[in-house]
Structure 1
């Protein structure tokens, strides 16, 4: 493994690009390869064995492309498959999970909400994390159909707003003052969420923390790229690249391919 090898990321779809964006911002000289398994999205409604199988396949693809480190840019894949991934592969693996710990330090009402997929909320790993904070009320809400709408390009629509209002109103009524976005797709909803929640509720996700952890691991292993040029960004999807490009076409230097 060399310093010039790329960083690999994968997600069930386009959501992991929110993680990629933070990684690219912090480490702009690193080459990156992202796999969006959009054909099989969402992972959140699949069985654990299905999630494990798909995740292992994605890691294998990234390793075939000579990635020096893998980021599981998907909460559902992390909470259901990271153990199996680390057992099977020797490459450094970085997972992502809902940012409950920072939320507990931000809340003033000792009440936080977690909006995530069914696959994340029902996982053993997620349940074990909740037990670490017995003095905080944690309201769990499964975001049924949110990922499907985002993957269909229906982010800012009346249907999405109605769905979010249905999920958020009961959480607000219970005193939530901090909302954890427990799916990497959900940061794309921040403008709508801010509008619906107002200034009194803090919204947090895991993107910056994952980027910092990635940098720390690469430094520890002496694998940070020492190039001065902007890294190449390669994005793979197993469906039409149109929707993926629509979330990323904002001046980023990128190439899109099918796998």
Structure 2
């Protein structure tokens, strides 16, 4: 079982930002990545739609003999992971916006959160935000249109920059010193974010924390891959494979699924 792959799914290519963290921390673990780009973004869908898509993705990965599943999508985590855990025996790792470290470390007591509608409107997000942001000014913005632009290979397009600026300007006006990225697609906007935000604003996402938690859970279940051989990494999409290839630096093949 130790050599069985880690399964990772997202509403599209964004979760590859999280895959990179897992690959860097666990270079000998085999992985299978599933991008449900044909249904992106999840953030604008109903809770039931998100759940049904998450179940479909999970069962695809389980049929590929995955030993653990990483839900590399904030919206799917906040809306579906509890049900997935109750229905399947395999361990699940989820991802949530990194509100806690941002709130605890903010000096201006003002933080920005850029996420999808599905994440910002979820009960899990609300509970986490309420718990850690008392006494803080929180500027939330739904990043409408950003996922679609990244899925189209336009992460650095002038149109993307102009749209992103409309979401960041109210945060800058509120004197935020932390910006929380609440979608795994958004790390691919880092060059634009660094250009648009004041130098003192720190950008934080959950990628490394999720990779570390993945290692902890594999160890708890005693299924870490003990072999020191190079890992096998498979990537599948029902969207444009060239976009994912580009985000992966051209280093991996991407197979297209009718899924």
Deviation of 1:240 (Å): 3.0
Confirm or deny: 8 A CA contact 2:78 2:119 kept in the other structure.
yes
1:160-209 C-alpha deviation (Å, 9 max, x unpaired): 11111111011110111100000000000111101111321000100000
Count of residue pairs brought into register by the alignment: 256
Match of 2:201 in 1: 201
d(CA) in 1 for partners of 2:180, 2:32: 27
Match of 1:212 in 2: 212
d(CA) in 1 for partners of 2:175, 2:185: 25
For normalisation by structure 2, the TM-score amounts to 0.97
Match of 1:159 in 2: 159
Q: Does residue 136 in structure 1 map to residue 132 in structure 2?
A: no
Match of 1:39 in 2: 38
Match of 1:226 in 2: 226
Confirm or deny: 8 A CA contact 2:6 2:68 kept in the other structure.
yes
CA RMSD of aligned residues (A): 0.9
Corresponding residue to 1:256 among 251, 254, 257: 254
Match of 1:84 in 2: 83
Match of 2:26 in 1: 27
d(CA) in 1 for partners of 2:49, 2:108: 38
Match of 1:174 in 2: 174
3-state SS, counterpart of residue 180 of structure 1: strand
Match of 1:16 in 2: 15
d(CA) in 1 for partners of 2:39, 2:61: 17
For normalisation by structure 1, the TM-score amounts to 0.97
3-state SS, counterpart of residue 155 of structure 1: coil
d(CA) in 1 for partners of 2:67, 2:255: 20
